[in-house]
Homo-oligomer: A and B are copies of this chain.
Amino acid sequence: MFYWIQIVGVLAFSMSGALTAMNKRMDAFGIFIIAFVTALGGGTLRDVLIGKTPVSWMEDLTYVNLVVAGFFLAIIFRKKLEYLRVSFFLFDTIGLGVFTLIGLEKGINIGLHPVICVAIGTMTACFGGVIRDILCNEIPVIFRKEVYATICIMGGILFFILRKFNLNEDILYLITSSFIISIRLLAVQFKWALPAIQHK
């Protein structure tokens, strides 16, 4: 099941990237690249920083195929995606939960400190969007509004707390991702945001 959710995550992220690029009037190549980095950029950055090379998408074509699928889905359904806004947002949120867990797991596997694992999980989930925004010449949206990364960090902390209780791994994953997904839904519903802190 974890595997299928991961597929939904990559698809959702690449569609969300493609839509952003279309709004920037990019050509087909630009749209594809933005879809690609939104979906796989966070994981690629993670792989490079922990030294897992060649990076994951070079060794398993599934990732690239999913991005290609997301790219075409976004182009075909671009007129209708407004109506699909809610299901779309749900996919993106599921992706957030799943990608955080994937990152956490990779950090644990190579024996890094929990604090660093949480950072890696957050990076996997959120930094594709950061690279997307940089390529689109904007200040990354997660630096300015919406709690997004913060929820991944909270989810990661919850994960390590629960882990002390020797829970079954599947249950641990289920609780953590449900937590991230629920808080994200609540955050958007009630417009929670971190305070901006101004210099003067």
Contacts and interface: CB of A to CB of B under 8 A. Distances in A.
Given A51-B51, A54-B50, A116-B64, A27 B196 contact: yes
**What is the total number of copies of this protein in its complex?**
3
Interface residues of A, number: 61
A189 interface: no
Given A30-B144, A137-B138, A145-B27, A113 B194 contact: no
Given A48-B48, A53-B49, A144 B198 contact: no
Contact of A198 (B25, B50, B58, B195): B25
A185 interface: no
Interface stretch (A15-23, A93-101, A156-164, A166-174): A15-23
B140 A30 contact: yes
Nearest to A145: B27
B139 A135 contact: yes
The 10 closest A-B pairs by CB, nearest first: A51-B53, A30-B143, A27-B194, A22-B199, A28-B194, A137-B139, A26-B143, A50-B54, A58-B116, A23-B199
